[in-house]
Amino acid sequence: MKKVLVLTGSPRKDGNSDLLADAFIRGAEEAGHQVTVFRAGRKHITGCLACNKCYTEGNKACVVEDDFNELAELYQSSDVIVYATPLYWYSFPAQLKAAMDKMHALVKGEREMAIKESILLACCEDTDPHAFDGILQSYKLIAGYRKWKDLGHVLAFNVNEPGEILKQPDLLAKAKALGRNL
């Protein structure tokens, strides 16, 4: 049994990336894994201030009072991290990016992170085959830097209105299979 952290990036509920995440979660839970979802797109996490006061006030990862301290625990205890996100300006939405930036606290505070494997689930409106180049490269570089094994990606083009991803059942099946095959 693996502990799986799913970080979702969309501020809107039941949108295309949430549906990709749901499919993945169904697969992972069917396979007996323990999944925790952190809805980063709907949390309040400020950008990292680079104050380097991480873990200097008790056991708080960040001295800023926002939702990051809840996530910091999950970064430490999860075996697998899954990013399920819309593409915003060829990159991660700011809310999710802030949650990613603040991994800095765990590095600075020399806290162990159990994460060993990662997955990217992403969607966008564009049909340009290069649309995901930037986010995919960022994801791969982060995984490489953290020595996470990249278990794969699902990249859904041509989805904009919430639920449009349902017209691409092959991609939902691929997300589910990634969960089942963890």
Ligand X SMILES: Cc1cc2nc3c(=O)[nH]c(=O)nc-3n(C[C@H](O)[C@H](O)[C@H](O)COP(=O)(O)O)c2cc1C
| Residues within the interface to ligand X (CB under 6 A) | 10, 12, 15-18, 86-90, 123-126, 131, 159-160, 162
Which residues contact residue 82 at a Cβ distance below 8 angstroms, ignoring those fewer than 6 apart? 4, 5, 6, 7, 21, 24, 118, 119, 120, 121
CB of 124 or CB of 143, closer to ligand X: 124
Distance from C-alpha of 162 to C-alpha of 142, rounded to nearest angstrom:
28
Q: Which two tokens stand for residue 36?
A: 């925790």
- The distance of closest approach from Cβ of residue 85 to ligand X in the complex, given in angstroms and rounded to an integer, is 7
CB of 86 or CB of 105, closer to ligand X: 86
- The distance of closest approach from Cβ of residue 163 to ligand X in the complex, given in angstroms and rounded to an integer, is 8
- The distance of closest approach from Cβ of residue 160 to ligand X in the complex, given in angstroms and rounded to an integer, is 4
Q: Report the residue count for the chain.
A: 182
- The distance of closest approach from Cβ of residue 159 to ligand X in the complex, given in angstroms and rounded to an integer, is 4
Distance from C-alpha of 99 to C-alpha of 74, rounded to nearest angstrom:
12
AA identity, residue 158: N
Q: Which two tokens stand for residue 16?
A: 């295309």
Residue nearest to ligand X (CB): 15
Question: Tokens 């159990």 label which residue?
Answer: 114
CB of 115 or CB of 135, closer to ligand X: 135
CB of 57 or CB of 133, closer to ligand X: 133
